A and B are shown apart, each in its own frame.
Chain A
Amino acid sequence: MKKIEAIIQPHKLDEVRDALKNIGVDGLTISEVRGHGRQKGHKEVYRGMEYEVDLLPKIKIETVVPDARKDEVTRAISSAARTGKIGDGKIFVFDVAEAIRIRNDDSGELAL
């Protein structure tokens, strides 16, 4: 099993969610997060007052899928979230040792 974690632009959430739904991925965890990539932060001036804008709002999507579906899912996220501009985000893939459904103790892919 693989855990797929994607950091995307907030306005791309609906498109990514639809893309995942279309390929049958319904189980998702979504969080509002803030962070920055290589560009780091910048200073913003409003009415003469300086504000440090070092963390930009992003959306984090997490899902766990069977190994065989990893490429299909990452492709769906990537094509739905892409605008071609800096700040589109990143996708990370992790190995998952075990999954257990708390309700009935189903385990492995059965628990997904």
Chain B
Amino acid sequence: MIEQALASLAERTRFVDETVSNAAAQHLTPHLETPFAVCAVGGYGRRELFPYSDIDLLVLAESESGLAAIKEPLSHFLRVIWDCGLHASQSVRTIADCCRLHEQNIELHISLLDLRFVSGSASLFERLTSGLPAFYRKHENKLIDELAGMAAKRHAKFNNTVYHLEPSIKEAPGGFRDIHLLHWMSLLAHERGRIQEALEAIEGPRRFLTAVRCFLHSASKRDNNLLSFELQDKISADWLNESADPAEWMRLYYRNARQVFHAALRALEFAELKDPSIARQFRDWRARLSTSEFTVSHERIFLRNAAYTLNSAESALELFTFTARHGIPLSWDAQRRVSSDAELPPRFLSQPPPWNAWREFFSQPHVAMALRQMQDTGLLSAAIPHWHAVECLVVRDFYHRYTVDEHSIVAIEVIDQLGLKPEFSVRFRQLLLEEEDRASLRLALLLHDVGKGTRPGDHVQGSLEAASDVFERLSVPPQNRETIEFLIAHHLDLSKVMTRRDLDDPATGRFLTSQIPTQEQLRRLALLTYADISAVNPTAMTPWRLEQLWRAYSACQEQLTRELITNRIDREQGASLAAGQSPELAAFLEGFPTRYLRTHTAAQVRRHFELDQKRRREGTAVSITQDSGAFLLTVLASDQPGLFAKLCGALACRGMNILKAEASSNSNGCILDLIRFSDPLRNLELNPDEVIRLEWTVECVLRGSLSVADLIKQRRHAPRPSSGSKVMPSVRFSNEASDDCTLIDFTGEDRPGLLYDMTSAISAAGCNIELVLVDTEAHKAMDVFYLTQAGGKLDEGAAQGLLEELKRVAMPV
């Protein structure tokens, strides 16, 4: 098929040359007194005349004075050509005109690179061809720069990817325009060795694409370069056989297009390296990011010690983590070294890097860029073998624009950009800022559609099965597994609800909370859904869908907040959860919010139960442990006035910064307070004995032998965290959220001791904290309190008074 296509191009060129020559001999030569030449330019000049393609002609005149005389004979000449069924585009120029830079018509100079004599005065043509090299030498950098700019714009129009379900084989990345880019740059560049090498490397893909384009033009009977689903069916049947799967043929297309695209990127990198401008040098400030292993130059990563970096899968992953951290791609040379190392894929397959390395990788801000580079170098499917099933996979869908693998990477890119670009949806950006486990979110996005390749028809189940294997390979810890499994299993839930359920109906909120049990899971699922919809095509996330998704999120969030206090573990549930274990465990569990079970592992519940036994013996039980880069204070105590405020005060007076907190109680009056805090001065980390001292301080405060007020007086004021803008406090209350309690929802600027001041104000107002959920994001504190006063809800006046007091204590200084 390829040979046939190449022969047909040669035949058509020969036919057109003959037609043009005859027409010129008949209508130009007898009527023109001054010399002229008819030249082929553009695709016709390259002898790349596809069926039904236009033919580009340049009519060369000796001087300006000869141009007027050419007008009438030229119209007869063109009429004959059109009558032969050829679509001609012509321009008439002098030699001087061709050798003068046209800033607004760079395309003219590019088309003249493919200049070829067809008819007329050979000596006039030779005068032009002898003048052009000097012109191109003079303007080499300018023209290469313009070419690179046009190519970059064209790539961006197609989202910089070859993986379109219905690609344009001319304009899309990896299409003919990229081959032309290399061809033109090889003609323009003074040092053309590397470009020539790249051009020669894509000779196979060029022949392949030539045959495809011939087929498209012939089958469509016009100059059509869109490889539509219908034409994919036809070409697959024609190229392979009638029963062949068009998706398999498309994989062949993507493999060829990918090679062309990479070669084009290599040419663009070459163009950038040539650019000596001050702006270019300024952009090179990132060279300071260079490390002992990697050099950063001209916005590319080069390997300093390839033997070391490629020695193990873990050190190779560090290279991609560097890309993901700084958003700098690998240089062509680094990519070549990684791709050509035959030992690396087996190392990723047999000894994949441990989860800690992957967690570091998936937590960076430019993960999508790094994943694309891993895919291009073949390491992504080596690390995650199931990925191979969706690589270049076309699943036909009216709305989807990309292949399954590209869709998943674009979805991760949406999350990356949401974190980096403030112009993206403010509300979802806020959710992302609150999200701590971005690694699980991104891994879930990577795997959520893998089932489309492994188990078509039930892709959710297929993706879950694949995820299970990935967890084993990468040693993903149980908590992250649970998160990722939940996200994959429910990744379609919110998008279904947002269009099929009445979002104003409280039943919708209850339905959602039956599927999504905690605020943390809801937040991640909303982010995943946002990314999944946005990655369908560039216009899929309309303001309409954005609003509907947010309304679905809000309905569920509101219901989850209500259920914090109303949904408690009852006696029966407690007994069933403790079946086969101690009856005391059942009694311990009874009365805690059901959220407690959803947010804690069995091991954590067991640990709390052990602490409760200590509480029953000694009155209180206090424990401080390290927890993912922070510390966790666990306190079990009998209820007492201002308990939570005392704990906050004890931590604040030792300079600790509270990040998250939860306080709840069971039916036996046992209070369980969990406070996650950071130690900005690293006191606990550097002096392990300080942990015991802090535990002792907390115990003394709870027993009343130390007063928080006295401790606060002794405290040296910790420096306030720097903050670009102040967050004004916002407090609202609701008596509708629960049958027995008043809900206080607070947001304000965080500062050391803020929670102590607020909880003290609550205690001073005679309120009891029944349940609390505290969160911080950068300098913003976000707290939910469920309060009672004298055993019931706060009345309107008391609630308003407390709101004003909370606003006062939280007002930024």
B376 CB → nearest A CB, Å = 37
Q: What count of chain B residues pass the 8 Å CB interface test?
A: 28
| In contact, A48 and B500 (Cβ under 8 angstroms) | no
Q: Which residues of B contact A14 (CB under 8 A)?
A: 500
Interface residues of A in 72-88 (CB under 8 A from B): 83, 85, 87
CB distance from A8 to the nearest CB of B (A): 12
Q: Is A51 among interface residues, defined by CB-CB distance under 8 A?
A: yes
Cα distance A105–B501 when bound, in Å? Answer: 41
Contact (Cβ within 8 A) A10 B548? yes
Contact across chains for B504 and A57 when beta carbons are under 8 A apart:
no
Shortest CB distance B479–A (Å): 25
Is A90 in the interface zone, CB < 8 Å from B?
A: no
**A44 vs B430: C-alpha distance in the bound complex, in angstroms?**
14
A residues in contact with B727, CB < 8 Å = 48
- Are A57 and B747 in contact (CB-based, < 8 A)? no
Flag if A47 contacts B503 (CB, 8 Å): no
Most buried by B among A44, A45, A46, A83: A46
CB-defined contacts of A48 to chain B, threshold 8 Å: 727-730, 747-748, 780, 782
- Which residues from B are CB-within-8-Å of A100? none
Contact, CB under 8 Å: A11 / B780: no
510-554 of chain B: CB within 8 A of chain A: 542-545, 547-548, 551, 554
Known: A10-B548, A55-B547. A49 touches B426 (CB 8 A): yes
Q: Are B499 and A56 in contact (CB under 8 A)?
A: no
**Is A21 among interface residues, defined by CB-CB distance under 8 A?**
no
Contact of B499 among A11, A55, A83 (CB under 8 A): A11
**In contact, B502 and A83 (Cβ under 8 angstroms):** yes
- Inter-chain CA distance A45–B732, complex, in Å, is 10
- Output the least CB separation between B127 and chain A (Å): 54
A34 and B543 contact, CB distance less than 8 A: yes
B544 contacts A45, C-beta separation under 8 Å: no
* Interface status of B421 (Cβ within 8 A of chain A): no
Could you tell me which residues of chain A, from 31 to 81, have a CB within 8 Å of some CB in chain B?
A: 32-34, 44-49, 51, 53, 55-57
A112 at the interface (CB under 8 A from B): no
Q: Which residue of A lies closest to B731 (CB)?
A: A48
CA distance A85 to B503 in the complex (A): 12
CB neighbours (8 Å) of B542 from chain A are 32
How far is the CB of A50 from the nearest CB of chain B, in Å?
8
Count of A-B contacts judged by CB separation below 8 Å? 54
B427, B503, B544: most-surrounded residue (chain A CB, <10 A): B544
Report Cα–Cα, A33/B543, bound state, in Å.
Answer: 9
CB-contact partner of B427 in A32, A33, A46, A57, under 8 A:
A46
B494 CB to closest chain A CB (Å) equals: 14
Mark each residue of chain B from 755 to 797: 1 if its CB lies under 8 Å from any CB of chain A, else 0. 0000000000000000000000000101000000000000000
A93 at the interface (CB under 8 A from B): no
B412-432 interface with A by 8 A CB criterion: 426-427, 430
Chain A residue with Cβ nearest B730 = A48
- Out of B430, B544, B547, which one reaches A46, CB within 8 Å? B430
> Measured between alpha carbons, how far is A48 from B730 in the docked complex, in Å?
5
Contacts A34-B543, A87-B504 given; indicate if A57 touches B430 (C-beta within 8 A): no
What 0/1 readout, one digit per residue, does chain B (723-760) give for beta carbons within 8 Å of chain A? 00001111010000000000000011000000000000
Q: How far is the CB of A94 from chain B (nearest CB, A)?
A: 24
Contact A47 B782 (CB under 8 A): yes
Assuming the contacts A46-B427, A48-B782, asked whether A13 and B747 have C-beta atoms less than 8 A apart, the reply is no
> How distant is the Cα of A109 from the Cα of B427 in the complex, in angstroms?
48
* Pairwise interchain contact B547-A56, C-beta atoms closer than 8 A: yes
For B499, the chain A residues whose CB sits under 8 A away are: 10-11, 13
Nearest A residue to B748, CB-CB: A48
A80 to chain B, nearest CB (A): 14
**Closest partner residue, chain A, to B732 (CB atom):** A45
Q: Does A34 lie within 8 Å of B430, measured CB to CB?
A: no
Contacts of B430 in A (CB 8 A): 46-47, 49
* B residues in contact with A83, CB < 8 Å: 502
Min CB distance A31 to B, Å, is 9
Task: Name the residue on A nearest B728 (C-beta).
Answer: A48
> Is B782 in contact with A57, judged by CB distance below 8 angstroms?
no
Our pick among B500, B544, B729, B732 for the contact of A57 (Cβ within 8 Å) is B544
Kindly provide the distance from the CB of B556 to the nearest chain A CB, expressed in whole angstroms.
13
Note all chain B residues with C-beta closer than 8 A to A32: 542, 544-545
When distances are taken between beta carbons in the complex, the residues of chain B under 8 Å from A46 are: 427, 430, 554
B746 — nearest CB in chain A belongs to which residue? A48
A-B contact pairs, 27 of them (CB 8 A): A9-B502, A10-B498, A10-B548, A11-B501, A11-B502, A13-B499, A14-B500, A32-B544, A34-B547, A45-B732, A46-B554, A47-B434, A47-B782, A48-B729, A48-B730, A48-B747, A48-B748, A49-B427, A49-B747, A51-B427, A53-B547, A55-B543, A55-B547, A57-B544, A57-B547, A57-B548, A57-B551
The 5 closest A-B pairs by CB, nearest first: A48-B747, A48-B730, A32-B544, A57-B544, A57-B547
Residues of A within 8 A of B (CB): 9-11, 13-14, 32-34, 44-49, 51, 53, 55-57, 83, 85, 87
9 other A-B residue contacts (CB within 8 Å) besides A45-B730, A49-B426: A32-B544, A46-B430, A47-B434, A48-B748, A48-B780, A55-B543, A56-B547, A57-B548, A83-B502
